[in-house]
A and B are shown apart, each in its own frame.
Chain A
Amino acid sequence: MTSLTDLSLTEMKAGLAARMFSAVELVQAHLDAMAANRHLNAFIVETPELALAQARAVDDGSRTGPLAGIPLGIKDLFATQGVQTTAASAILKGFVPRYESGVTANLLRDGAVFLGKLNMDEFAMGSSNETSAFGRVISPWKARGSDAELVPGGSSGGSAAAVAARLCAGATGTDTGGSIRQPAAFVGIAGIKPTYGRASRWGTIAFASSLDQAGPMARSVADCAHLLTSMCGFDPRDSTSLDLPVPDFAAGLTGSMKGKRVGIPAEYRLDGMDAEIAALWDAGIAWLRSEGAEIVSVALPHTRFALPTYYIVAPAEASSNLARYDGVRYGQRITPPGGNVHDMYAATRAAGFGKEVKRRIMIGTYVLSAGYYDAYYTQAQRVRTLIARDFELAFQKCDVLLTPTAPSPAFAFGAKTDPIAMYLNDVFTVPASLAGLPAMSVPAGLSASGLPLGLQIIGRPLDEGGVLDAGLAIERAAGFTARP
């Protein structure tokens, strides 16, 4: 038998149901893999005792559900009752929530086993996992003929590295501007961000509330579908949660593209686009056409304004959301000798936040400040309306959009020191985030250097099923079997 950690989540479900192995055996195999791969720094906290107790409850029949016994990693952005939750920030070191986030509560309800908390960019601000206060996460992948350590992408880099290295069957991620899709592409796994409002934001540490969405990361489209079904659902505690039924995404998955129209946005073919990325995109177009889809050209004319819009809206919301870290109610506190409460706030936040987080809070504070609000923030929200309208018009001509996920394969640590160069990594993922649309990345090939590349599918609001079907069609046609 192949190693238990090599099974897909779908195969684990079947194996557990057929009693080919116990939940304890399955979980122990993953705990062993975690112990053997600590150099990746994927986990901030490991919870082996909790995981084994949950697995024993599955084996004795007291813990049931569609995900019973499935070992998952949880991004450290989700509050987990009784287990330290920090968003990979020094300011929250030692914070142990007394409550469970909506998304993780749904997974626990369905019987999933939690292995621990996954490393990430601090407060989900980053595309390379270099901003974590707990040290960078290292990708399990290496370029052919090179020993250089590579970034796993970000911000859900711990989730990406752990799933790719077979340390867990799947993981939770969150996506504000591409934080599920870009790391999934960098490590050769699948990941989907559902429509804004599908997954509860309650108990998920807020970055930019109008953009933040949770979603699963796993090694196949079907595995993502199982996790997505469990993670989504109405939560009255989140004012933007959608009160709509959640389909069984795994049961509905067909991979059929017959009669579907696939839109190709001309504006995504950037000047100077990496030839490998362009070739992969063309291959994806050919695969979907041969599966029976009609390929149509669409226009998304405001695409080039998406990144600057995002880098106004997201920091603005972050500066407001992160105001809560004041050293009073939770987390770290620094009081200078003889300092008053204002000195305490400023010293606590200076010591507790990393460079990128401070930069974004300050940008956000500036664009929201008196005299600049209309020129920056209101203008950005108007452009956001135009970006969303572009998608609406495109979806009159097609059912899903196909694009690359990222402009390059994974890069080395320290390769992008200029903040804007780092921001440009999200050029293909940010527009769908601004419009709240479901979008996924599927591994589709390898670069000449032997590193994974992903293709992105963007769907209409609430059409996660259509996105997953196109994802499955790409997955089947690409036959991606490479592993780190």
Chain B
Amino acid sequence: MSVDSETVRKIARLARIAVTDDEVPGLTEQLNGILGWIEQLGEVDTSGVEPMASVMPGALRWRADAVTDGGIAEQVLANAPDATSGFFAVPKVIE
């Protein structure tokens, strides 16, 4: 499978990364190089093999459904590019 420039634009859109028209040909070539190389995995017969879920066996732990922190809004917001009145602020979402 190889990707064309339209697919590269679509991937960039899904990944929320702006790409310029100048960047598309180079990206297409690089992505096709990598995809062509990883495609060799198709050769491996994996019938009856379970996909790996975890390298270490064992079930995930349960924890108590309890509040363990809170009241640190100031710390949570401290690194925000824009915060007002105790909230993260973003550009307009709805026109």
Q: Is B67 an interface residue (CB 8 A)?
A: no
Identify B50's interface contact among A302, A358, A382, A418, CB under 8 A: A382
What is the interface size of chain B, counting residues whose CB is below 8 A from a CB of the partner?
52
The B interface, classified by DSSP as helix, strand, loop or mixed, is loop
CA gap between A361 and B14 in the complex, in Å: 10
Of B39, B49, B52, B79, most A-chain CB atoms within 10 Å: B52
In the complex the two chains form, is A340's CB within 8 Å of B93's CB? yes
Asked if residues A341 and B80 are in contact (CB atoms below 8 Å), the reply is no
Contact, CB under 8 Å: B14 / A369: yes
Q: Are B41 and A312 in contact (CB under 8 A)?
A: yes
Interface flags, B1-28, vs A, CB<8A=1, else 0: 1010001100111111111000000010
Name B10's closest neighbour in chain A (CB-CB).
A369
Give the docked Cα–Cα distance between A385 and B49 (Å). 7
Interface residues of A in 297-334 (CB under 8 A from B): 302, 305, 308-309, 311-312, 319, 323, 326-333
Q: Is the CB of B80 within 8 A of A98?
A: no
Taken together as a complex, chains A and B put the C-alpha atoms of A196 and B40 apart, in Å, by 27
**Chain A positions within 8 Å of B61 at CB level:** 236, 239, 243
Q: Per-position contact with A for B32-74: 1 when CB-CB < 8 Å, else 0?
A: 0111011111101010011111111000110100000000100
Report the minimum CB–CB distance from A439 to chain B (whole Å): 13
Whether A341 and B91, one on each chain, are in contact in the complex, defined by CB atoms closer than 8 angstroms, is yes
A250 at the interface (CB under 8 A from B): no
Chain A residues within an 8 Å CB radius of B46: 379, 382-383, 386
The listed residue (A319, A344, A378) touching B51 by CB distance below 8 A is A378
In whole angstroms, how far apart are the Cα atoms of A359 and B12 in the complex?
10
Q: Which of B41, B55, B81, B93 contacts A333 (CB 8 A)?
A: B81
Q: Which residues of A contact B63 (CB under 8 A)?
A: 236
CB-CB contacts below 8 Å: A352-408 with B: 353, 358-359, 361-363, 365-366, 369, 372, 375-376, 378-386, 388
Say whether B34 contacts A420, CB under 8 Å: yes
Question: Bound state CA distance, A331 and B91, in angstroms?
Answer: 16
- CB <8 Å contact, A341 and B11: no
B42 pairs with A375, CB closer than 8 A: yes
Instruction: Give bound CA distance, A383 to B49, whole Å.
Output: 8
Proximity bits, A239-283, B CB within 8 Å = 1, else 0? 110110000000000000000000000000000000000000000
The verdict on A477 contacting chain B, using a C-beta distance below 8 Å, is: no
Interchain CB contact under 8 A, B50 and A385: yes
Q: A311's closest neighbor in chain B, by CB? A: B38
Task: Report chain B residues within 8 Å CB of A375.
Answer: 1, 42
- Given B37, B42, B56, which contacts A420 in the complex, CB threshold below 8 Å? B37
Q: Which of A335, A418, A436 makes the CB contact (< 8 A) with B55?
A: A436
User: Interface centre among B7, B46, B78, by most A CB within 10 Å?
Assistant: B46
Decide: A382 and B79 in contact? CB cutoff 8 A: no
User: Complex formed: what's the CA distance from A305 to B49 in Å?
Assistant: 15
| A365/B14 contact (C-beta < 8 A), A330-B79, A344-B90, A350-B19 known | yes
Residue pair A335, B33 in contact (C-beta under 8 Å):
no
Chain A residues, CB < 8 A from B18: 343, 346-347, 349-350
A345 near B: Cβ within 8 Å? yes
Chain B residues, CB < 8 A from A434: 55
Give 14 new A-B contacts, CB below 8 A, not counting A312-B38, A376-B41.
Answer: A94-B79, A97-B79, A98-B76, A312-B41, A329-B80, A346-B16, A346-B17, A349-B16, A361-B17, A366-B31, A366-B35, A379-B42, A383-B44, A384-B52
- A-B contacts, 9 listed (Cβ < 8 Å): A195-B56, A240-B56, A311-B38, A323-B16, A333-B81, A340-B91, A383-B49, A385-B50, A461-B56
